[in-house]
Chains A and B, each alone.
Chain A
Amino acid sequence: MEWVATWVFLTHKWGPSVPKTTKARYPTKPLEGWKHCKELRLQHYKAFITARDEGKAIFTGSGDGSQILVHALHDSLFLSGEPYGASIGGDPAASDAFSEACEARGFARDLDSYMRNYLGSMYLDRYYFGGPFPRPDFVFSFHVCDTHFKWYQIVAEHFNVPTFGIDIPVSGRLSDRRESRQEYLASQIYDGIEWLEKTTHRRFDDERFIQVLHNLTETESLWGQICIQNQAIPAPLDQRALFTLYFPGFMLFYQPETPAFYRELLDEVKQRVKDGIAAWPYERARILHDSQPPWHWMKVFRIMEQYGGVSVGSQYAFCGGCSFDVDDQGVWHAPKTIKERGIVLQSREDAVRFLAEWEVGRLMFSVFCGNADDKNRQFLQMVKQWHCDGVMFHLNRGCEGVAQLQLENRLAMIEAGIPVGSFEGNMADHREFDEAQTIDRIESFMESLGLTKLELA
């Protein structure tokens, strides 16, 4: 069925209309903001090494939103488990040592690989960026995936530190009983604020909270605009770049350097579009990717490129760092900032209400809904808006949360006549990855799109 769908697809309006060639079709050049982005990331992780000496409190928890509240406290650092586990995942030797240390304590090898890397690093008391593991003073985490708080429950028990979790409620569809879910989330946020003040003996600064929210929406808006730029042909950025560049937005939105960096990046990307600068000069087909990549083997995107296939984005890269606005026709737009929405946040109440609404509406959370419809619609929309010729699913054994519904999404794509390919792997555990088989799978998919391997110098 998949092959039939592919044939139909290629012989109709969707098919790549570009002739096969090994000549570069577009100019390319390195991204100027790349180095700055890497520096921002490294600064963030290095900060934990000196945090104690600087009198900073260390929090840990899931990457989803918890730190919005934590950063309303002065002098706090937030170690988000997922990006930290991903960093380790990119280094197979470190990942082996850490995940095996976790498994030796009885935790199953099929649990979230970010978590196993993080817990192993904790058990071995080895911080991947140098020195001992940064002992958290508190655990504070949002919870939208089964893994989230169960992970930090173990961390809190290991360090015997106070802990608080906030449940982000999901329903059958993102739109179902949204007001009630917002109210539930808001009420927990108030409890979380009270807990933070009581437990840390630090003042929760409402002005700072509001400022963090402004930074958050500005950062997300800018990231959304950057992603929208990638709708251009040729794509100015590829998936590898997106996965690196989204880090500041995902983790460092609270600091003013991040929107400043994204403003510069947006200008640069716009200029690339204007000048026709491609991420990959041989772009012949555009691929939507699904799930986190295997961080230890980013070559998956190189294999596609050898055939002229460019991975132009994914729900994870787009929506992980941005809650897009969707209009009545289903079209995605970069989200408006608080100011652009005409909202004035004057009090804690205003801010909490806004945050609850923002979080409950996150498109990324469609993967946690009890119905595949939302995510299926999102895929179809991304394929349309980003002019994709096919979808490549990374069946990610390392993250049950994001891997949910993947096969239903795949079926929905096939039904819509969109070519799909898939490979099996694990985002942060190279032991669950078969390189030869993955190359075969990707090459077959590229060939099914009518592409042949480029003869590159």
Chain B
Amino acid sequence: MVLKEKLVMDRFAEVVKNRHDYAREWKQRTGGRVMGYFCTYMPEEILIAAGMMPVRILGSHEPQDVTERHIYSMFCPFCRDCLAQGLKGRFEYLDGIGMAHTCLHIRQAYSSWVLHVPTKQNFSYYISMPAKPQSPRARPFLIKELEAFKKAVEEWIGRPVTNKDLDKGIEVMNTNRRLMRQIYELRKADKPLVTGTECMQMVCASQCMDKEEHNKLLAEFIKNELPKRTGRDAGTRLMIIGSEDDDTEFLAMAESLGATVVADDHCTGSRYFWNEAPKSEDRIAAIADRYIAKVPCPEKDWEERRRWTHISKLVDEYKVQGALMIQQKFCDPHEFDIPPLMKMLKEKKNVPSLFLEFDVTVPVGQFRTRVEAFLETMQLEM
């Protein structure tokens, strides 16, 4: 993949588009293992410490007909799209596959993957990530789960994962998080220096490429490319909120209508990287702390609604004027949260919302009309 001549954000887009080629080249270049994972509760720190490249399983936004016999059609299109990638052999380079317990939809993609999609080294692992991270009992339990996972990884690679290795894993992940937050900060400006589409590409690229290389590119962007940017007229300042969403085509369309997506609450956005692992002598405990304190997916956000706090803060800091509620069809956790969330945004933040139901492919024309109408209504009110 020839990337060097391109600007960093274009390189991110290129990696996302050609992520399988990237991973294969990485394997060839480094001789390292590639571990696929579902959802963003997988402790990538441990995988990086073990010298692996973790890659998130994402879909391809193409209609498919290979999952019908494995996952019933009432489950979310994203989980079926993910499984389709495995069944079609697109992740044939994976050495192992894993997941940390999250929603029942994506869990089925993992389950079917383990049964029907062989990995190179036949390694699979399911971490029992607590569903109630708010419980003080979740932390000690997760520490044990991560210790067991680390042990399984050590047995797999045939060597111990030392504290030094873990320090590296934590540092690489924390640097990545810090740099991406730094870039997100640019969206607070009246004339944002980056678009929502670029940010989504950046985060998706982070999920499917070598983190150290991603870090270098982020640093390069901040040092060399950012000073040359002049920012754009933000227009209406939007936030996107909801289910898994890597639909950059939709986002680019929305941002072409006189609006800029300045913030998000997505697992392909801020939820993925917002908090860092704290410093601690006990590295596994530090990693557990990070995932316990992570901005929660709705599935893990009870009894208290801590996600609301994160969203409200983003609304204030990024001066959000309207929200697009992105709902993957059949995504239960978000279906529970969206009605009270829309109410909260309207009543407490005076932020109107537009609800959009997504599938693997979206009708851009129809959505364009709806987003335009939403923006026009907002402009009238403003």
Contact = CB atoms under 8 A, between A and B. Distances in A.
14 contacts: A107-B339, A111-B336, A146-B332, A149-B132, A151-B336, A154-B340, A165-B132, A169-B131, A184-B141, A191-B137, A397-B74, A400-B330, A401-B104, A405-B111
Contacts of A401: 104
Given A150-B299, A191-B135, A370-B126, 7 more contacts: A149-B302, A163-B303, A172-B128, A177-B144, A400-B74, A400-B104, A404-B104
Given A146-B332, A370-B111, A176 B302 contact: no
Given A106-B339, A154-B340, A183-B141, A405 B302 contact: no
B128 A170 contact: yes
B144 A156 contact: no
A184 B133 CA distance: 12
A169 B128 contact: yes
A447 interface: no
B101 interface: yes
A338 to B, nearest CB: 25
A372 B71 CA distance: 12
B108 A405 contact: yes
Nearest to B298: A150
A5 B137 CA distance: 48
B95 to A, nearest CB: 18
Interface of A: 105-108, 110-112, 143, 145-147, 149-151, 153-154, 156-157, 163-167, 169-172, 176-177, 180-181, 183-184, 187-188, 191, 368-372, 395, 397, 400-401, 403-408, 410-411
B244 interface: no
A379 B114 CA distance: 19
A146 B108 contact: no
Contact of B112 (A112, A169, A188, A408): A408
Given A105-B339, A408-B115, A180 B108 contact: no
Contacts of A411: 69-70
A328 to B, nearest CB: 24
Among A105, A180, A410, max chain B CB count under 10 A is at A180
Contacts of B103: 146
A423 to B, nearest CB: 12
Contact of B144 (A157, A170, A180): A180
Contacts of A145: 104
B156 interface: no
B181 to A, nearest CB: 29
What is the size category of the interface that chain B forms with chain A?
A: 35 or more
A138 to B, nearest CB: 12
Contacts of B144: 177, 180
Contacts of B104: 145-146, 368, 400-401, 404
Nearest to A367: B104
Nearest to A145: B104
B340 A110 contact: no
Interface in B33-89: 69-72, 74-75
Nearest to B105: A400
A124 to B, nearest CB: 16
Nearest to B339: A106
A111 B337 CA distance: 12
Contacts of A163: 303
A111 B128 CA distance: 24
Interface in B336-380: 336-340, 342
A408 B107 CA distance: 13
B165 interface: no
Contact of A143 (B111, B131, B338, B339): B131
B112 A372 contact: yes
A146 B105 CA distance: 10
A290 B114 CA distance: 23
A370 B99 contact: yes
B145 interface: yes
B111 A187 contact: no
Nearest to A183: B141
Contacts of A172: 124-126, 128
A107 B330 CA distance: 11
Contact of A110 (B71, B108, B303, B335): B335
Contacts of B337: 150
B302 A370 contact: no
B381 to A, nearest CB: 21
B335 A370 contact: no
B128 A395 contact: no
Contacts of B333: 146, 150
B332 A111 contact: yes
A110 B69 contact: no
Interface string B108-142: 10111011000000001110101110011110110
Interface string B298-320: 11001101000000000000000
Interface string B319-335: 00000000101101101
Contacts of A183: 141
Interface string B133-175: 0011110110011001000000000000000000000000000
A45 to B, nearest CB: 26
A171 B128 contact: yes
B303 A167 contact: no
A184 B339 contact: no
B229 to A, nearest CB: 39
Given A170-B128, A397-B74, A164 B303 contact: yes
